[in-house]
Amino acid sequence: MKLKKILIIRLNAMGDVILALPVAMAIKDAYPAVTVDFVTRKAYAPLFDQFPAVDTAFAFDQSMRELLKELKKQKYDTVIDLQKNPRSLILSAGINPKNVVSYPKRRFKRELIVRQSLLKLNAGHTVDAYLKALSRLKINPLSRRPRVELQPEIAKFGDSFISNAKFTGKIIGLCPGSKHEEKKWPQYQQLAELLIGEDDKNVIVFSGPADRFDPNLNISSDKLVAAHKLPIDRVAGVMSKCDLVVTNDSGLMHLAVALSVPVVAIFGPTHPSLGFSPLGDYDKVVCDNVECSPCSLHGEKKCKMPRKFCFENISPELVKSELDKTLYVEIPSQIL
């Protein structure tokens, strides 16, 4: 199969878009001269300026007709559909390439994990599922971990942000948000208070326009600053300066991994067995593995239990203990 121009489709969500990056990396490793383009949501498109394996990122907002007109001009010979929903199917059919390949979505197995949580099955990682789309193209991936390379302007923005904060010591990023409310661990404020109570720790709180919490976590301290409502590429610039990031099961968790920033990821109503655990060598997952978890595929359903058992035993002290274990370990530079 001769490859010249390839389009990868992954419109949302941010974590899935980042986990699709190894597919582009594998294609460029195998065929450096092949054009690899990507179509995604407008909010995520700036991230691709920090990712050299993608030549052009096309931003989808609302007008499918205009997007399809632009994509048809590119004359792709191959489309890799990593969304597999009606919209991506329409795009693939409208582009009419010679080849359309997709990935095993594992919907049944993942639903079974939710419905029969006591069995503790495992769906395998989403990255590995995406990379299976390359088997028809006879491409063997060299790496399964997403990586971004910051452009000088974005790296400089991160440096300036830290300089203005006047931090000394370790910098911990906290990401209390998530697309779905149920996935939000409720004790980030208490964790932040523990961290800034120590001489060698500072905190950056990351939040977006849709997050419904105080950007400063109701804390007034010169050791805590908010990175609020930044475009995704500038979020990456600031996050790259963190020594460690604490997140929920969210897109920012995967962004930290792609930036080679160690992660402590808190899972509650979702579970690593569904395929979205962080992939860094020094990342840690904090998950209580209660009987009722996972209770939904993406954390979109309201908890039906009398109390939120999945978060009940995950204390700020426990999370801090886990992050300290990583923070004070010297990570070899070749890992980063």
> What is the three-class DSSP state of 75?
coil
Which residues of the chain are in CATH 3.40.50.2000 domains? Answer: 5-137, 152-327
Global model pTM greater than 0.85? yes
| Residue 34 identity | V
| Main-chain dihedrals φ then ψ at residue 174, nearest 5 degrees | -115, 130
DSSP state of 94: H
Q: Is 80 exposed, middle or buried (0-12, 13-18, 19+ CB in 10 A)?
A: buried
Helix (H) / strand (E) containing 189 = helix 188-196
| CA–CA dist 187, 217 (Å, integer) | 10
**Cβ(147)–Cβ(25) below 8 Å:** yes
| Residue 114 identity | V
Q: At what angle do helices 188-196 and 316-327 cross, to 10 degrees?
A: 50
pLDDT at 61: 83
> What is the three-class DSSP state of 2?
coil
pLDDT at 272: 95
* Block residue for tokens 């920090």: 50
Q: Can you name the residues that pair with 203 across neighbouring β-strands?
A: 172, 224
Pick the CATH number of 5-137 from 3.30.70.920, 3.30.2320.50, 2.40.128.20, 3.40.50.2000: 3.40.50.2000
* Block residue for tokens 């709180």: 205
Per-residue pLDDT of the chain (336 residues; tens, 9 = 90+): 689 999 999 998 999 999 999 999 999 999 999 999 999 999 999 999 999 999 999 998 877 889 999 999 999 999 999 999 999 999 999 999 999 999 999 988 999 999 887 777 899 999 999 999 999 999 999 999 999 999 999 999 999 999 999 999 999 999 999 999 999 999 999 999 999 999 999 999 999 998 999 999 999 999 999 999 999 999 999 999 999 999 999 999 999 999 999 999 999 999 999 999 999 999 999 999 999 999 999 999 999 999 999 999 999 999 999 999 999 876 655 455
DSSP state of 303: P
CB contact set of 110 (below 8 Å; sequence gap of 6+):
123, 274, 275, 297
Question: Which homologous superfamily does the CATH classification assign to the domain defined by 152-327?
Answer: Glycogen Phosphorylase B; (3.40.50.2000)
Nearest-CA neighbor of 209 among 237, 182, 179?
A: 179
Which pairs from 223-226 meet CB under 8 Å and 24+ separation? 223/167, 223/196, 224/192, 224/196, 225/165
**Cβ(262)–Cβ(326) below 8 Å:** yes
| CA–CA dist 55, 141 (Å, integer) | 19
| CA–CA dist 21, 16 (Å, integer) | 9
pLDDT at 334: 46
pLDDT at 217: 98
